[in-house]
Structure 1
Amino acid sequence: MISHAPIHRFLADQSGAVAATYGLSLFALIMVGGVGFDYARLAGMDSELQNGADQAALAGATQLDGKSGACSRAAAAAIGLVTNTTILASTHSISVASESACDATGTVRFWQNRDATQAATSDANARYIELDVAARSVDYALTPVGGLLHATSKASAMAGIGSSICKVPPVFMCNPAEASDVSFNTPDYIGKGIRLIANDGGGNYGPGNFGYLQSNAGNGAQAVAQTLGRTEIPGDCLGIDGVDTKPGVQVSVLDALNTRFDVYANGLNQACGNGNGLCPPSANTRKDLMHKGGTGNCAFQTGNGNGWHEAPHPYVPTSATTPLTAAQITGLSPMGYPRDMCHAVSLTGSCAKGQIGDGNWDRNAFFKTNGANYPSTFDVGGTFGTAAPTRYQVYRYEAANAGSRLQIQADGSDTSRPQPYCQAPGVPVGGVSGGNGAADRRVISVAVINCQSQGIGGASSGVQVQKWVDVFLVEPAVARKSGSTKLTEQSDVYVEVIRETSLGSGGGSSAAQMIRRDVPYLVK
């Protein structure tokens, strides 16, 4: 008789039941493990590609110097950097397609702005480079068990040059023509006076206001004073395109700016060192103030005491357009470089463009009142090549001919001192023989900002700079009066536009007035 017990035991045995389940799930388990393994390979390749794109964009950005061939050189630098191998991709070479045109098409694109909304049209305006690295694929090792064979990845990057301007006082002015000229076309303003006003009324800054930039020189008025007065300016360099504004009006710090005119208020030791030696004047200190007393009397005085004070017979025009007559000039004290006539007639002036003058200053009165320096036969047109030289041109001419053009001149007990008296000999005028490459003490570079459109008020970060311009400091910042009528505020800074600041070429440049430093940076 055949026993069926073994068969029954086999059919009843459940000890191997899990094997079938495991066998069926094996494919899924292998796929899950494969996804982790292959995803790590894909992520690694993506990182390689992005790193390559980043480095290529940075390499290309270093060539965007605005000169001829900039786009071609930038593309070549970018392409050359990423012509290499990626270990994790199934196709090993990384490449960027050749592209050298200054436009925003193809795999290498050039832009004028960091938002990539304005395509570059020439080497001169190509400021940012954007590029794509060709897509690469990874053949999966284990994931094909689930039917997935490969995946692709690509990368792109954008970079530009981050430039800084150094060795300049951290000063900005709100574009006085923002309503009509948002770009502040500098050639339109060369030779014209601008009355800059401190924002001492509070609130947001408006056209023609001036203020200070954050440069990490320290907090408080003394730190700002050091940046305005010293030849060795403390603090960091300032971004050419973007800056942070510093809160506070701090009118008192203009005493430090006045040291450039040989005017030393009391209490400047912390800003200018013992004896004020850290804040020397320009070698040409021609100004409308006259002096009484010795070298120890160097502060501005409102009365008749020793020190600097308003001339006893100051220049105060009666017309915004007509120069003084010979009779009106007779008896005037020696003049400093005056304001434009339309500004000089009153505290607020009557210029057609408000705080922007017209460049018409009373040249005849200036030369006539400084008769000890200029004979009646002095030929203005023959000397300057124009009958209407700018104040800055006269300033440099006088510095170059100091022996005959910067002589002291008296009016009663007061003396005009167009050369340093309190801190002699002063710093030679820049660009004049004997200047020794020193920064001109009466020329500063200021950032022009459209304050209204950006809502600048107090401490503002990431403020866009329209451009940097060089301005000539025309007169000390002091309160002047004609009788009881106020003519200038202590918080006024009157300047003449010289030119747009020359920032040199990409790769860095240096000059006495400033140093430019360039560093490539990633935008995205």
Structure 2
Amino acid sequence: MRRVRSKRLLKDESGATAAVFGLSLFALVAIGGLGFDYARLAGMDSELQNAADQAALAGASQLDGQNGACLRASAAATTLVANLTLLANDGDGTAVTLPPEPDCDAAGQIRFWQDREKTTAATDDGNAHFIEVEIAARTANYAFTPLAGAMRGDLGAMALAGLGSAICRVPPVMFCNPLEAIDPDFNVGSYVGKGIRLIANDGGANYAPGNFGYLETNAGNGAQATAETLGRDAIPGDCVAADGVTTKPGVQLSVLDALNTRFDIYAGNTNNPCGTDGSLCTPSANTRKDVLHRGNQNNCSYSTGNGGNGWKEPANAYLAPSAAVPMTVAQAATTAPMGYPRDMCHAISITGSCADGRIGDGNWDYMAYFRTNSASYPTEPTSADRIAWFGTDTPTRYDVYKYEMANSATRLVNQSSNGLTARSTPYCSSSSGVVPGTTTPDRRVLTVAVVNCQAEGVGGRTADVHVTKWIDMFLVEPSLSRTRTEASDVYGEIIGETELGGGGGTSGNTVRRDVPYLIE
């Protein structure tokens, strides 16, 4: 009996797997522990990356190019959002913290860059366009993986963010930097108060310095859609990207008639974009211009020649006798009431003789202007008068425009001249005109994109075009065919660089909307 049991014991295989299981148990425990600890490590990675993302987005929201942008961005990145890590167990607590960075540079854990490729470090608030945030490494001490020889895992995080901006409530107009070859940055401060002659790109597909055109805003295709964006009080379409714009193809010279409604001039082709009564396109409360009126309120278009009714160029219109020397008192005495004139170096001929070509020198004949508008200025203003009224002896046209609007009862007086009437407040429009305010745009101020068209290769529809500057420009005169002007011209005076809510002293003209975005 014992012999049989011994044989069975020798032949019994029921516990054969125990040895295998015992040998593999170490590996199984290690694999399970690795999975557990890896899950903790992956969770900590998500926590730290989320902290970096939120800090970068918070910081990017402050990169507006204004003074103190970097300091504000650093403060936002470090204090705006409190982030925690619950999976790090290195003894440093649960808070994810960043040391502040007071300087605009690419040092430390908060770094500022000029470009998204991170090749050029920022040097000041104006060129700090992107913020990079680095979260210092935190440690997860493993619970089970040490069985396999690994003790801990260290992870950090990094995020890069920028600020996407849009310009809203403005006609989508751009022009090619007239001085791209010598001033590609378009130093606006050098041009404030100077006239600028912009002409439509009617000579070919590619834009040249001094050409102007339009930007795509999804307002629709065709001339009528563009006219609506230029003339209407409530501008249709989307906001315009502050950078990376898309140009709109087509010359569309007729759409400038819609721009002229801002001067109380209504052509027949403005009925569709502006309504048959023009109520969708109201003029400025100050419509002072160099064309005079004959007829009634049904005669509201412009025509050349001496006959007919409507808006006309007077036979004795202002024609600058010199590119540098103002009119004499005797010459002004025989000149029709003037609108705000071009710089003398532009007013000497159609093309002008200004040293900077399309950009003038800021010297306009303001004394001839005051003398010819004798109903509004019965006494010739002295130097003391000009300083008292405008704050300077040599006012800009925009200075005079604002002063006259504020004193319209005495400074925007109708004046007859050889059967025509100079009307400087709305006559054709049923509206009394728009007076700009905190939330009301000025109808004679345009916010315009400045583009280096040659460097950007702008021609027809061109996408992702870099905007060098946004500027505010005062509309000096309507776009009409006269003795020394062409209907394809837009002539303005540079007010200054656009700022939030309207730049260069304007108000209500622009709304800038900024949205921070992650890059990596």
**TM-score normalized with structure 1 length:** 0.86
Which residue is equivalent to 2:426? 420
| 1:18 positional shift | 8.0
1:261 aligns with 2:260: no
1:234 aligns with 2:236: yes
Identify the range of structure 1 (233-242 vs 51-60) with the bigger mean alpha-carbon deviation: 233-242
**Counterpart of 1:43 in structure 2: which amino acid?**
A
Which residue is equivalent to 1:130? 132
Structure 2: how far apart are the matches of 1:302 and 1:135?
A: 76
Structure 1 160/255 Cα, relative in aligned 2: closer, same or farther at 3 Å? same
| 1:375 positional shift | 2.9
Structure 1 44/173 Cα, relative in aligned 2: closer, same or farther at 3 Å? same
Match of 1:516 among 507, 512, 519: 512
Structure 2: how far apart are the matches of 1:123 and 1:164?
A: 19
Match of 2:493 among 493, 496, 507: 496
Structure 2: how far apart are the matches of 1:201 and 1:10?
A: 106
Structure 2: how far apart are the matches of 1:132 and 1:18?
A: 52
Which residue is equivalent to 1:404? 410
Look up the SS of the partner of 2:272 in the other structure: helix
Gaps of 5+ in 2: none
1:94–1:133 CA contact under 8 A, matched in 2: no
**Counterpart of 2:376 in structure 1: which amino acid?**
N
Look up the SS of the partner of 2:269 in the other structure: coil
Which residue is equivalent to 2:274? 272
Deviation string, structure 1 residues 368-411 (Cα, Å, up to 9, x no partner): 32233323533255224544321112222222232232222223
Match of 1:309 among 308, 312, 323: 312
**Counterpart of 1:267 in structure 2: which amino acid?**
N
Look up the SS of the partner of 2:268 in the other structure: coil
Identify the range of structure 1 (120-129 vs 20-29) with the bigger mean alpha-carbon deviation: 20-29
| 1:187 positional shift | 1.9
Structure 1 413/429 Cα, relative in aligned 2: closer, same or farther at 3 Å? same
Identity %: 58
Which residue is equivalent to 2:48? 49
Structure 1 333/131 Cα, relative in aligned 2: closer, same or farther at 3 Å? same
Look up the SS of the partner of 1:321 in the other structure: coil
Which residue is equivalent to 2:394? 388
Which residue is equivalent to 1:60? 59
Structure 2: how far apart are the matches of 1:112 and 1:504?
A: 25
Structure 2: how far apart are the matches of 1:114 and 1:98?
A: 23
Measured on the aligned residues, the alpha-carbon RMSD in Å equals 3.2
| 1:428 positional shift | 4.0
Which residue is equivalent to 2:164? 162
Which residue is equivalent to 1:484? none
Which residue is equivalent to 2:219? 217
Map 1:319-398 onto structure 2 (within 5 A).
319-375=322-378, 377-379=380-382, 382-383=385-386, 384-398=390-404
Which residue is equivalent to 2:94? 93
Structure 2: how far apart are the matches of 1:234 and 1:353?
A: 35
Gaps of 5+ in 1: 482-486
Deviation string, structure 1 residues 97-152 (Cα, Å, up to 9, x no partner): 42232132111223455444444455666554322111123344555554344332
Deviation string, structure 1 residues 220-250 (Cα, Å, up to 9, x no partner): 2222211111111222223334433222222
1:462 aligns with 2:464: yes
Which residue is equivalent to 1:181? 183
2:101–2:108 CA contact under 8 A, matched in 1: no
Structure 1 291/453 Cα, relative in aligned 2: closer, same or farther at 3 Å? same
**Counterpart of 2:85 in structure 1: which amino acid?**
T
| 1:34 positional shift | 5.6
Structure 1: how far apart are the matches of 2:395 and 2:343?
A: 13
Look up the SS of the partner of 2:450 in the other structure: strand
1:53–1:82 CA contact under 8 A, matched in 2: no
How many residues are paired up? 509
Structure 1 495/72 Cα, relative in aligned 2: closer, same or farther at 3 Å? closer
Identify the range of structure 1 (217-226 vs 86-95) with the bigger mean alpha-carbon deviation: 86-95
1:191–1:497 CA contact under 8 A, matched in 2: yes
| 1:337 positional shift | 1.3
1:190–1:498 CA contact under 8 A, matched in 2: yes
Structure 1: how far apart are the matches of 2:438 and 2:97?
A: 49
Structure 1 469/73 Cα, relative in aligned 2: closer, same or farther at 3 Å? closer
Look up the SS of the partner of 1:364 in the other structure: helix
| 1:332 positional shift | 2.5
Structure 2: how far apart are the matches of 1:386 and 1:54?
A: 51
Structure 1: how far apart are the matches of 2:513 and 2:477?
A: 31
Structure 2: how far apart are the matches of 1:262 and 1:100?
A: 54
Map 1:199-210 onto structure 2 (within 5 A).
199-210=201-212
Look up the SS of the partner of 1:159 in the other structure: strand
Match of 1:298 among 296, 300, 318: 300
**TM-score normalized with structure 2 length:** 0.87
Structure 1 251/15 Cα, relative in aligned 2: closer, same or farther at 3 Å? farther
